[in-house]
Amino acid sequence: MDMSHSHSMSGMSGSSMAMVFHNDQNTPLWSSAWTPSSAGQYTGTCIFLIIFAIINRCLVAAKSILEQRWLAAHLERRYVLVAGKTPEAGRIDSDPTAKTASLVTAQGVEESVKVVRRNAQETVPWRFSVDLPRALLFLCISGVSYLLMLAVMTMNVGYFCSVLGGTFLGELAVGRYSQWLEH
């Protein structure tokens, strides 16, 4: 008797993971504690997955909006000192996009400055006030995305359709705020 053949056959028959789509209502979601036992619980789980997928799209849109705000704030952080009426200062004075402000230097001297927006694209410097929230938001997006992926990997048709439906509804609602070149 060939032992390797019988071992591989018993390994295949003992497998409990379905490799095809199924529609069992008692499919666990993320743990054995979350196993629907009735049609109502299964429906509630599917509704939860729809809402969770919508939240995922909202988080991506929120990150995109915040990225735009952070970039705009970075571009507005350009200061040009006006120490007199030099040709450069005259050009800045006539610039309609420049904003007038005053700056107190380290020596306590107040100087007149103009804040000028810079249009050139460059690598933005690291800032704790921007990069920490960015990293935390991306951590949330990654966690929600992986949990949705695990729900789809159960191969349950209801869970799969719920994630797709929630993704569709979320993109329909907030997709215009997302920037695809980030992803």
Whether residues 133 and 50 share a domain: the answer is yes
My answer on whether 58 and 106 are in the same domain is: no
For the chain, give the mean pLDDT.
78
Indicate the number of domains in the chain.
2
- What tens digit of pLDDT does each residue of 153-174 get? 999 999 999 999 999 999 999 9
* Residue-level pLDDT at 6: 47
Residue 36 lies in a domain: yes
Q: Are residues 48 and 106 part of one domain?
A: no
Same domain, 28 and 71: yes
Q: Are residues 30 and 58 in the same domain?
A: yes
pLDDT of 121 reads 67
| 62, 87, 115 - which closes a domain | 115
Residues 156 and 84 placed together within one structural domain of the fold: no
- What percent of the chain stands above pLDDT 90? 49
Beta strands in 51-140 (DSSP E): 79-81, 99-104, 110-115
On whether both 136 and 62 belong to a single domain, the answer is yes
Domain range for residue 157? 23-75+123-182
Same-domain pairing of 127 and 71 = yes
Regarding predicted confidence, which is higher, 83 or 26? 26
| Same domain, yes or no: 135 and 108 | no
Per residue in 85-103, pLDDT (tens digit) is: 444 444 555 666 655 554 4
Percentage, residues of the chain above pLDDT 70: 63
Question: How would you label 21-38 residue by residue, b for 16+ Cβ within 10 Å and e otherwise?
Answer: eeeebebebeeeeeebee
In a domain, 2, yes or no: no
Distance between CA atoms of residues 156 and 158, nearest Å: 6
Asked if residue 78 lies in contact with residue 108, where contact means CB atoms within 8 angstroms, the answer is: no
Q: Are residues 83 and 70 part of one domain?
A: no
Asked if residue 14 is part of any domain, the answer here is no
Question: According to the model, what pLDDT value does residue 97 have?
Answer: 60
For residue 12, being part of any structural domain is answered with no
